[in-house]
Amino acid sequence: MALRERKKLRTREAISTAAIELFVEHGFDQVSITQVAEAADVSRRTLFAYFPTKEDLVVHRFADHEDEPARVVRARPADQSPLVALHTHFIERLRAHDPFTGLTDLPQVLDLYRLLRGTPALMARMLQFNETSERELASALHETAGTPELTARLAAAQIASVHWTLAMSNFDRCASGTSAPKALPTAVKAANQGFALLSSGLAPLWPTTEGSP
């Protein structure tokens, strides 16, 4: 990689790191773009060349994971169902304490999560990420499993929402002080339940005599 490219990456990291540090310490709304630019030793204008909005200074760190579910579905063995592939992968990442699952002990990541949850503007941006992820997952299901389009969209929506719920739930436990290894068994159980609900449906939760309309 050329010097120019490397320098750009370093600058980008420097800006984002400075931003998150300031945001974590003083709060997202209490720190201005100008202050971030000063801390990172670049001009305000340059900062906007790297990050289109203030929110992106924080959430770009999750951009890598945006297409993870779709990739997992596309990369699965031919004889494996998408749901099993996603389940297996999630449990695997959980055991690896991948921040992607919400289960982590890294103080920096926990701070980052706390910042996200406490800032509506950032949560809104994360939901958009989630929607992109969902759309890509729908495409992957449609293209690799032959699922009809609407069906794929419905399934992807369910899967993405369960995924998000599990990650938030895991994070909440870690943020409130439980260590990752200690939270792992609960997290695995939760993940198993989430994927079981996806796989077998919600009907067994509320058994009644009445049928559907």
Partner DNA sequence: GTGCTAATCTGCACTTAGTCTACTTTTGCA
Partner DNA sequence: TGCAAAAGTAGACTAAGTGCAGATTAGCAC
According to the binding rule CB under 8 A, does residue 193 interact with a second copy?
yes
Please choose which of DNA, a second copy, none residue 160 contacts, taking the beta carbon within 5 to 8 angstroms, the exact cut-off set by kind: a second copy
What are the b/e assignments for 52-80, b being 16+ CB within 10 Å?
Answer: eebbbbbbbebeebbbbbbebbbebeeee
The residue from 9, 49, 63, 150 that contacts DNA (CB under 7 A) is 49
- Shortest Cβ 135–DNA spacing (Å): 23
Spatial separation of the C-alpha atoms in residues 26 and 68, rounded to whole Å: 32
The contacts of residue 154 (CB under 8 Å, 6+ apart) are: none
Cβ atoms within 10 Å of 6's Cβ, excluding its own: 10
45 is an interface residue for DNA by CB under 7 A: yes
* CB of 50 vs a second copy, minimal distance in Å: 20
Selected binder of a second copy within 36, 37, 40, 159 (CB under 8 A)? 159
Nearer to DNA, 50 or 171 (CB): 50
Best CA proximity match to 167, nearest among 119, 115, 213, 99: 99
At residue 43, φ and ψ (nearest 5 deg) are -80, 155
**Span from 1-9, 42-50, 104-112, 162-170 in contact with a second copy (CB under 8 A):** 162-170
Give the residue from 29, 30, 21, 171 showing the smallest Cα distance to 110.
Answer: 171
Residues in touch with a second copy (CB under 8 A)? 79-84, 87-88, 91, 120, 123-125, 127-128, 131, 134, 145, 147, 150-151, 153-155, 157-162, 164-166, 169, 190, 193-203, 205-213
